[in-house]
Amino acid sequence: MGLYSILSIIGALGFFIYGMKVMSEGIQKAAGDKLRVILKAITSNRLSGILTGFVTTSIIQSSSATTVMIVSFVNAGLLSLRQAIGVIMGANIGTTMTAWLLVLLGFSKFSLAAYSLPILAIGVPLLFVSKDQLKSLGEFLIGFALLFMGLSALKGEVKILHLEQNQDFIDFITGLGTGGYGAVLLFVLIGTLLTVIVQSSSAAMALTLIFVGEGLPLEFAAAIVLGENIGTTITANLAAMIGNVHSKRAARAHLLFNIFGVIWMLIVFFPFVHFVQGLIEKMDLGIQTKAQEAQYTLALFHTLFNIINTFILVWFVNYIEKIVIKFTPSKSEDDEEFHLEYIGNNVMLTPEISILEAKKEVAKFGDITSRMNGFLHTAINTADEKKKKKMFKKLEKYEEITDKVEIEISDYLGKVSRQEMSEDASLQLRSMLNIVTDLERIGDVFYQMGKTLERKQKDKVWFLPEQRKGLNEMLDLTEEAFKVMNKNLKSDYKKVTLDEALEIEEKINKKRNKLRKKHLKSVGSDEINIEAALIYSTMFSSLERIGDHIINVTEAVTGKEIE
Same domain for 9 and 117, yes or no, is yes
* Most confident region among 8-12, 87-91, 195-199, 269-273 by mean pLDDT: 269-273
Q: Say which residue, 347 or 245, is predicted with more confidence.
A: 245
Average pLDDT for 186-211: 82
Q: Is residue 343 part of a domain?
A: no
The reported pLDDT for the residue numbered 62 is 64
Q: According to the model, what pLDDT value does residue 333 have? A: 47
Give the pLDDT of residue 40.
55
340-378 pLDDT, tens digit each: 666 755 445 567 777 887 888 899 999 999 999 999 999
Q: Is residue 550 a contact partner of residue 478, using CB atoms and an 8 Å limit?
A: yes
Spatial CA neighbour of 56 closest among 89, 102, 82: 89
User: Among 396, 466, 410, which Cα is nearest to 438's?
Assistant: 410
pLDDT at 258 over 80: yes
Residue 68's pLDDT is 63
Whether 373 and 426 map to the same domain: the answer is yes
Separation in Å, CA 86 to CA 261, 323, 536:
15, 15, 57
Residue 76 reports pLDDT greater than 70: no
Query: How sure is the predictor about 415, in pLDDT bands with cuts at 50, 70 and 90?
Result: confident
Check residue 482 and give its pLDDT. 95
**356 and 321, same domain (yes or no):** no
- Confirm whether 169 is domain-assigned: yes
Q: CATH no. for residue 381?
A: 1.20.58.220
In this prediction, residue 42 carries a pLDDT of 56
Same domain, yes or no: 295 and 363: no
Same domain? For 262 and 200 the reply is yes
The pLDDT value recorded for residue 563 is: 41
User: For 46-65, how does the pLDDT look when each residue is reduced to its tens digit (9 = 90+)?
Assistant: 777 788 788 777 766 666 66
Range 149-167 burial, b when 16+ CB lie within 10 A, else e: bbbbbbbebbeebebeeee
Shared-domain flag, residues 280 and 366: no
Please say whether the beta carbons of 79 and 73 come within 8 A. yes
Average pLDDT of the chain is 80
Shared domain for 293 and 412, answered yes or no, is no
Poorest-pLDDT segment among 102-106, 423-427, 430-434, 468-472: 102-106
Q: What is the pLDDT of residue 268?
A: 92
Predicted confidence band of residue 216 (pLDDT cuts 50, 70, 90):
confident
**pLDDT at residue 164 greater than cutoff 60:** no
Shared-domain flag, residues 123 and 212:
yes
How confident is the model over 375-404, as pLDDT tens digits? 999 999 988 888 999 999 899 989 988 988
Q: 298 or 64: which carries more pLDDT confidence?
A: 298
Q: Is residue 321, in this structure, part of any structural domain at all?
A: yes
- 355/305 same-domain check: no
Residue 294, pLDDT > 80, answer: yes
Residue 203 to residue 200: CA distance in whole angstroms: 5
C-beta separation of 426 from 513 below 8 A: no
Predicted pLDDT of residue 177? 44
| 309 and 388 both lie in a single domain | no
Q: Please state, in angstroms and as integers, the Cα–Cα distance from residue 493 to each residue in 132, 355, 356, 360, 429, following that order.
A: 23, 12, 11, 12, 12
Percentage of the chain beyond pLDDT 90 is 26
What pLDDT, on the 0 to 100 scale, is given for residue 107?
64
The pLDDT tens digits of the residues spanning 303-344 come to: 999 999 998 988 888 888 889 888 887 654 444 445 666 675
Radius of gyration of the chain, Cα coordinates, nearest whole angstrom: 31
Helices marked H in 214-350: 218-240, 245-267, 269-282, 290-313, 317-327
Q: What is the pLDDT, as a whole number, of residue 174? A: 53
- Based on the domain organization, do 322 and 357 belong to the same domain? no
Higher pLDDT, 172 or 551: 551
3-state DSSP of 41-107: CCCCCHHHHHHHHHHHHHHHCCHHHHHHHHHHHHHCCCCCHHHHHHHHHHHHHHCHHHHHHHHHHCC
Distances in Å between the Cα of 5 and the Cα atoms of 12, 68, 152, 153, 202 are: 11, 35, 16, 12, 22
pTM surpassing 0.75? no
Share of the chain above pLDDT 70, in %: 78
Distance between CA 148 and CA 157 in Å, rounded?
14
Angle at which helices 218-240 and 63-75 pack, to 10 degrees? Answer: 30
Q: Is residue 337 part of a domain?
A: no
Q: Say if CB 26 and CB 138 are below 8 A apart.
A: yes
Residue 484, domain member (yes or no): yes
pLDDT at 242 (0 to 100): 56
Give the Cβ contact number of residue 493 at 10 Å: 17
Judged against a pLDDT cut of 80, whether residue 19 lies above it is answered with: no
Pick from 110, 175, 106, 176: which is nearest to 147 by CA?
A: 106
Asked if pLDDT for residue 561 goes beyond 70, the answer is no
The Cβ-side half-sphere exposure at 420, using a 13 Å CA radius, reads 13
Taking the C-alpha atoms of residue 359 and residue 290, their distance in angstroms, rounded to an integer, is 54
Rounded Cα–Cα distance for residues 463 and 539 (Å): 11
On whether the CB atoms of residues 236 and 324 are closer than 8 A, the answer is no
- Number of separate domains in the chain: 2
Choosing from 327, 361, 379, the residue where a domain stops is: 327
Domain membership of residue 11 (yes or no) is yes
* pLDDT at residue 337, as a whole number: 46
Distance CA 185, CA 263 (A): 11
User: Are residues 265 and 371 part of one domain?
Assistant: no
Q: Are 87 and 53 in contact (CB under 8 A)?
A: yes
Is residue 72 within 8 Å of residue 353, measured between CB atoms?
Answer: yes
**End position of a domain, from candidates 327, 342, 362:** 327
Domain's final residue, options 276, 311, 327 = 327
Question: d(Cα 444, Cα 209) in Å, to the nearest integer?
Answer: 60
Q: Domain range holding 489?
A: 351-558
Angle at alpha carbon of residue 228, lines to 326 and 263, rounded to 5°: 55
Q: What is the pLDDT of residues 484-503, one digit of tens each?
A: 999 999 888 888 899 999 99
Determine the Cα–Cα distance for residues 368 and 34; give it in Å rounded to an integer. 33
Mean pLDDT of 205-232: 85
pLDDT of residue 111: 60
Whether residue 332 lies inside any domain: the answer is no
What does the DSSP 8-state code read for residue 316? G
- For residue 563, being part of any structural domain is answered with no
pLDDT score of 194: 82
pLDDT average, residue stretch 518-530: 74
